Structures are given as structure tokens and as C-alpha cells.
């Protein structure tokens, strides 16, 4: 068994070589079924199990996103469900936020105890949101989106049964996102015969805040920005997911760049452990595919309830370690 143990020189982590991809496979399979990125759970694993707490752990988490996400981005591009105005606003808004997040991490949160407190707060939001979605009040506010989703699924199933067309991945023309207007004040687009719009400055401000949080934590922010787009801006999740995923991918590249190139204070380790991040990413790449395939067999309520409970528990543990 000792022959299977690998020591990663950059991070100093010593573990069985197959554990990082195996853990990422398990995490991303479950989280992707709940519509949540697995990156936010892999960072606690690295800190608490692998004892990797240097600022470079945030950069290593970005590497996971870079390796794991392309398969999902390709799917949305192929199906014509990439809302490009939303994608560009998310990218332009999050990039400066990631830069600020980098400096917050190395200047104000280099201490593992303080960083765990920050991570706990982010996890508390994500876990709390998942549990909130289980409540009757939350479900009542989603009836319109559920009707749109049901109609979408029924039509896709019917078309795939009737023909094997590869145009727009077998989806009807109404299921492709079509931009109607894109101005400095507002964006409007059409999806499935219905029109949706949102404030350009409002979305930019949201993306900026998410970029700061993501740059500090080491996640692209998709797990935070996508729910806001659905709940606050009232956009269908089918048109949000691709933009959030693309934004997460590109901002993760920027995050790795910032953590690698920009100067750090003193002897702080900020460069990512590429090999460790790539192993996590390989498991995540496979897990996201499996999650997409298995999603229809597992009740969403069960997935979100389990995920929410686990995340809130982790959040309480980290906040407790910071306070006491």
C-alpha cells in the first residue's frame, strides 16, 4: 500500500494517489444531480482531511474547475442553450472580483482559522439555500418555472423518440436561447416561446460580488450566482446553467493566473498544486457526466435535503472552529 502513496511537492499533501479523483468523482456525481458545483465541498476536504490550508489551496481548487467543467460547457453550446449576453456580463463582472478576492485571501485571510470562518459562512449560505428550497413557501414561488421545465422535458422526450436529428442536439427551435436586445441598461431574450429580461447593471453587480467571494474561496461562483438568477431575476434555470458554468470556467482560469503570477506577501504559498488539482478535476469530469445521467433516477428532494444537511453541518463546524 505504501507504493500507492504519493507526496505532492507543491502542497505537501501525502495521500493515496487514487483518493483525490475518487473523492471528486463521488462529490461531483451527487452535487451535479442537485445542480450545485462540487468545488465548494472539495476545498473543505483538502483542508480538513488532507490538511492543505495554505492560500494555494484556493488556486488548486480553481484547477479542479478548469479540468472538470469543459464537458458541461460543450453540452450547453451544442444544445444552443448558452445565453451569451448573460455569459459575458458574468465574465466581465466576476473577473475584477476574482482579483480583489485574491488580495483578500493573501492579505486578510492567510491564517487557516480565519479562512475556515469565511468558508463556513459561504457554506452556510449554500446549504441554507438548498434547505430553503425544500420549504412549501419556496416551492410555491417556482410554479411558473416548473411548468416551463415540464413542458421542455416532455417535448425533448417526444422529439428524441421521433427522430435522431443532431440539429441543436434534437431540441426544437423554441428551446434555443435567442437574444432580442442587449443594451447597457437591460437584456431581453426568448426561450421556449417566452420572453425574459433582466437589468444589466444589476447582473453585473451580482457577478462582481460573486467574483470577490469566489476569488477568495477558490470557486468560480456558479453555485452562488445561478440560484440568484433564478430566484431574484426570475430567469429559467435552463438558460442560466450554461452561462454560470462558462463564467465559472473562465474565471477559474483567471484565478489560477492571479494566484500564480501576482506577488504574494512574504513567503505565502499561492501557486496551485497542478497535479493534485488535475486529479481532482479528472474525477470531477467523470462525476459531472454520471450525475447528469443519474439525475432522473434520484428524487431532487432527497438530493437537496442530504446535501443541505451535510453542508450546514460543515458550515457550523468551521464557524465554530473560528469562534472557539
What is the pLDDT, as a whole number, of residue 153?
63
What per-residue confidence (pLDDT) applies to 97? 94
- How many domains, the chain? 1
Average pLDDT, the chain: 84
Q: Where are the alpha helices (DSSP H) in the chain?
A: 19-33, 39-48, 56-68, 70-78, 84-107, 112-132, 136-140, 143-162, 200-217, 222-231, 237-261, 274-294, 300-323
pTM over 0.75: yes
Q: What is the pLDDT of residue 26?
A: 93
pLDDT, average across residues 144-156: 62
pLDDT average, residue stretch 43-52: 94
Mean pLDDT of 213-238: 83
More confident of the two residues 145 and 86: 86
Q: Write out pLDDT tens, residues 286-299.
A: 988 888 677 667 77
Is residue 165 predicted with pLDDT exceeding 60?
no
Tell which residue, 209, 259, 275, 227, has the closest CA to residue 64: 275
In degrees and rounded to multiples of 5, residue 11 shows phi and psi of -90, -20
**Each residue's pLDDT tens digit, 227-282:** 788 778 888 877 887 888 888 888 999 999 999 999 877 778 899 999 999 999 99
**Span 17-22, average pLDDT:** 95
Residue 264 has a pLDDT of 78
pLDDT at res. 168: 46
Helix 300-323 and helix 19-33, axial crossing angle in degrees, nearest 10: 120
Find, among 112, 40, 132, 130, the residue nearest to 318 by Cα.
112
143 — pLDDT class (breaks 50, 70, 90): low
Say if residue 316 is exposed, middle or buried (CB neighbours under 10 Å; 0-12, 13-18, 19+). Answer: middle
Percent of the chain scoring above 70 in pLDDT: 85
Please, are residues 287 and 38 in contact by the beta-carbon 8 Å criterion? yes
What percent of the chain clears pLDDT 90, i.e. is strictly above it?
49
Q: Is the pLDDT of residue 25 over 90?
A: yes
Please say if the pLDDT value at position 149 is more than 90.
no
Band (83; pLDDT cuts 50, 70, 90) = confident
pLDDT in tens, 170-202: 455 556 788 999 999 999 998 877 889 999 999
The phi and psi torsions of 85 (rounded to 5 degrees) equal -60, -45
Domain of residue 92, residue span: 2-323
Average pLDDT over residues 16-30: 93
Mean pLDDT of 307-323: 90
Residue 166 has pLDDT above 50, yes or no: no
Amino acid at each position: 500500500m505504501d507504493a500507492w502513496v504519493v507526496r505532492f511537492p507543491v502542497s505537501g499533501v501525502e495521500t493515496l494517489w487514487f483518493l483525490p479523483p475518487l473523492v471528486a468523482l463521488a462529490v461531483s456525481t451527487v452535487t451535479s444531480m442537485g445542480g450545485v458545483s462540487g468545488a465548494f465541498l472539495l476545498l473543505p476536504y483538502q483542508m480538513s482531511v488532507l490538511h492543505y490550508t495554505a492560500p494555494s489551496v484556493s488556486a488548486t481548487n480553481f484547477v479542479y474547475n478548469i479540468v472538470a467543467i469543459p464537458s458541461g460547457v460543450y453540452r450547453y453550446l451544442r444544445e444552443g442553450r448558452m445565453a451569451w449576453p448573460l455569459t459575458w456580463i458574468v465574465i466581465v463582472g466576476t473577473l475584477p472580483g476574482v482579483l480583489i478576492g485574491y488580495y483578500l485571501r493573501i492579505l486578510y485571510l492567510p491564517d487557516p482559522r480565519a479562512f475556515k470562518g469565511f468558508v463556513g459562512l459561504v457554506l452556510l449560505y449554500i446549504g441554507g439555500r438548498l434547505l430553503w428550497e425544500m420549504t412549501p413557501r419556496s416551492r410555491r414561488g417556482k410554479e411558473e418555472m416548473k411548468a416551463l421545465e415540464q413542458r421542455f422535458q416532455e417535448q425533448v422526450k417526444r422529439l428524441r423518440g421521433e427522430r435522431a436529428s443532431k440539429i441543436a442536439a434534437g431540441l426544437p427551435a423554441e428551446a434555443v436561447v435567442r437574444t432580442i436586445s442587449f443594451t447597457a441598461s437591460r437584456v431581453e431574450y426568448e426561450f421556449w416561446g417566452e420572453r425574459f429580461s433582466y437589468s444589466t447593471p444589476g447582473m453585473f453587480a451580482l457577478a462582481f460580488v460573486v467574483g470577490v467571494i469566489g476569488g477568495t474561496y477558490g470557486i468560480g461562483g456558479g453555485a452562488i450566482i445561478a440560484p440568484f438568477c433564478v430566484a431574484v431575476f426570475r430567469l429559467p434555470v435552463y438558460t442560466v446553467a450554461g452561462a454560470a458554468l462558462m463564467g465559472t470556467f473562465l474565471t477559474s482560469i483567471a484565478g489560477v493566473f492571479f494566484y500564480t503570477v501576482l506577488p504574494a506577501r512574504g513567503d505565502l504559498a499561492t501557486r496551485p498544486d497542478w497535479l493534485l488539482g488535475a486529479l481532482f478535476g479528472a474525477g470531477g469530469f467523470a462525476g459531472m457526466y454520471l450525475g447528469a445521467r443519474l439525475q432522473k433516477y434520484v428524487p431532487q428532494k432527497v438530493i437537496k435535503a442530504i446535501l443541505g444537511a451535510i453542508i450546514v453541518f460543515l458550515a457550523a463546524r468551521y464557524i465554530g472552529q473560528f469562534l472557539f
